[in-house]
A and B are shown apart, each in its own frame.
Chain A
């Protein structure tokens, strides 16, 4: 399976993240699955005219490829000209290259939330860059390729959303395609592969005991749950970040900071400060999406009154001050 990769209005972080793929070398893993890069701007040898020749051959259909991976928002400005990103050495807008190449690709992958939904570039007040995703303007279907776009393989754009994406999300999406193909039923309503977007960041969160008892962190570096005060959206964000480790053993929550829901369209402009939880009458808005609010409030009140001292005290410091008690021999029933 041949993969052609382009970068536009993004930070290159999804490629940097991809290179962290573990435990095998990314290149070995891909090679053994029969996956190769036709061209990748950060990794291939071909530069300048050689690179442009490869891209031209792909555009004309002379050089067949299977997957077009695009990383970064599509910049249509100023005034629809696409001049905010012209292909180096060639002078044509990246939006034009992507549109033409998408017509020759069996499948199109949007690598990262910028490419999927528009990213921070689309969140400048007034969107002067005229930025969008490949098939979305934030939550609204459309984007550069249009709501009705289907690649030759019959799928809409596959949105491997995340800022950045987890290396496993990309590598496993490519391998799934190479081994058994992909169908609409493998994607959620926003075009994201269900194998990772079918979970919530909350699942497997190491702070779940604090969540259960609503023992909340009050300031940065506290050990408690980050939902009530510090802006965490783990109960609403679709991703398996706490089931699949980042960089060996990490995740945002494990790093001690809030999930900002970077796999969701529009996460860039939440309408409140990222590290603060907006509240109405002391109750956080944006409760877990599938939980009735009245039940949440009732359960929260109950669990707060049942919070063990250990959990309550540990929640507001940055290292454990009370250990779980050890049951004494014969002290049971």
Chain B
């Protein structure tokens, strides 16, 4: 038995380290460490409740809008206010813009460059992949960055700027869209659609959205030009549909009114009950007692704790670790393609990437519909009054999965603020009963160490981790 420490992991948001115990070059045990602590839950305590809208986006530069939306939802819950129809559409659009930009960034800049590594030089697809996806220098980056920047111009209209907007408010949005701007938004969406259809998919978005099984997907991709078909070819060659399986227990808070909330395991979707969430701090450098529901959670540093190995808490649903993200969202929503992939081979590197890209193909048409549904002239923001005493919950979906904020207000100030971020679920450490987190499970049995292919890099990045959120 030997032990190695792997890190830093490039091209993940924030800092990540993984300790591996190896036997015969295979991983017997993995410990996932988030080596950075940020303490945002303490920053929020004692502030005016609406200050959360300015503070929480700064938890994360890549999902700042998701953090805003969770805070606004929690505040709206405490205020008893409902966003206006325009406000709700604007929020869907702002959230979807961030989430879809994240899916694009993940695929092109974070995930695919690993296949351009010299480790794969003997593969038939390597030369083309290196030309297209080499980090910074590949031909894809030169096209993707302008496409991404242009797509994020939606934020210039809808949210003032990205990242770190204050546009999302409990009652909707501060930014009413005019009739003329509606046309600009549609033009920007068409421009992005055109990029996706030409370069990423090589087909109409609607066609990608309809693919309903693994067999259909592979038949569609066979011989087709496009970056997604190119990935599927690599995935087939490297067997990525059999790599990176965790426990196949999935959880989603539900998103955009399109994808319902729920949990899924062993072929069954079950309604989601937020009361069943707990956080365990046994193996984090935090004070531990009983696992607590986040509405009663604490984050108290215990930097010298023995047996701890990360700053990340261990969230559990009904006592079990759950995977979150685009795959979880789609499986819970009953998406036939992703259900087929998961029921054949379990959650995998390939399934996670397919889930993200199919979600991209399905969301852009939905966004076009939301823009068309905007009613310029009608209110974008309902007004409400904050109670001096109260509590609220904000459950949303970031690109990389379920994000929850739990807020308590006492004497007009924030008394408690607890956050569970998507990567806190996925990169959770062990808990008091020694149950591993999803990534810790997904790495078991893989080759690692001297001379091994970069498989663990693919598995880690298939979750699209965001470590800065994890350690909020």
Contacts and interface: CB of A to CB of B under 8 A. Distances in A.
Contact of B35 (A85, A262, A318): A85
A139 B159 CA distance: 30
A27 interface: yes
Contact of A17 (B33, B35, B163): B163
A207 interface: no
A248 B156 contact: yes
Contacts of A123: 43
A169 to B, nearest CB: 13
Given A12-B468, A88-B15, A252 B149 contact: no
Interface stretch (A47-55, A140-148, A282-290): A47-55
A262 B164 CA distance: 10
Given A48-B7, A275-B166, A252 B161 contact: yes
Interface residues of B, number: 89
A274 B51 contact: yes
B50 A89 contact: no
Interface string A217-244: 0011100000000000000000000000
Given A21-B149, A275-B53, A48 B8 contact: yes
Interface string B327-352: 00000000000000000000000000
A11 B61 contact: yes
Nearest to A19: B145
A47 B69 CA distance: 33
Given A23-B146, A85-B15, A16 B166 contact: no
Interface stretch (B131-139, B198-206, B259-267, B400-408): B131-139
A180 interface: no
A205 interface: no
A19 B141 CA distance: 11
B175 interface: yes
Interface string A13-56: 11111011111111110000000010001111111100110000
Contact of B301 (A43, A78, A252): A78
B157 interface: yes
Interface string B20-37: 000000000000010111
A51 B141 CA distance: 21
With most chain A CB atoms within 10 A of its CB, the pick from B54, B110, B169, B381 is: B54
B160 A13 contact: no
Interface stretch (A2-10, A152-160, A322-330): A2-10
Contacts of A28: 142
Interface in A86-101: 86-90
Interface in B419-437: none
Interface stretch (A57-65, A124-132, A303-311): A124-132
B153 A247 contact: yes
Given A25-B146, A256-B174, A249 B169 contact: no
Interface stretch (B241-249, B270-278, B372-380, B389-397): B372-380
Given A13-B60, A13-B163, A48-B7, A43 B105 contact: no
Interface string B165-193: 11101011111101000000000000000
Interface residues of A, number: 79
B39 interface: yes
A255 interface: yes
A149 interface: no
A303 to B, nearest CB: 24
B8 A128 contact: no
B59 A11 contact: yes
A25 B162 contact: no
A249 B157 contact: yes
Given A88-B33, A89-B5, A19 B161 contact: no
Nearest to B134: A45
Contact of A12 (B7, B14, B39): B14
B166 A252 contact: yes
A121 B164 CA distance: 16
A51 B16 CA distance: 13
A11 B381 contact: no
B383 interface: yes
Contacts of B85: none
B220 interface: no
Contact of A27 (B40, B145, B159, B376): B145
A210 B61 CA distance: 32
A273 B157 contact: no
Contacts of B164: 13, 163-164, 262
B174 A220 contact: yes
A10, A19, A123 interface centre (most CB from chain B within 10 Å): A19
B148 interface: yes
Given A12-B60, A20-B162, A44-B135, A318 B40 contact: no
A14 B110 CA distance: 17
B116 interface: yes
B320 to A, nearest CB: 28
A48 B6 contact: yes
Contacts of B64: 11, 13
B177 to A, nearest CB: 9
Contacts of B410: none
Contact of A13 (B46, B62, B158, B176): B62
Nearest to B141: A27
B10 interface: yes
Given A10-B468, A164-B163, 12 more contacts: A21-B149, A42-B109, A44-B136, A46-B10, A48-B7, A125-B42, A220-B169, A249-B156, A250-B156, A257-B165, A273-B50, A275-B54
17 contacts: A13-B164, A16-B62, A25-B145, A27-B141, A43-B109, A45-B117, A78-B303, A89-B5, A121-B38, A219-B383, A220-B383, A247-B154, A247-B162, A252-B161, A256-B174, A268-B55, A273-B50
What 6 A-B pairs are tightest by C-beta distance, nearest first? A255-B160, A13-B61, A88-B7, A89-B7, A250-B156, A256-B174
Interface of A: 7-17, 19-28, 37, 41-48, 51-52, 75, 78, 81, 83-90, 119-121, 123-125, 128-129, 163-164, 219-221, 245-258, 260, 262, 268, 273-276, 318-319
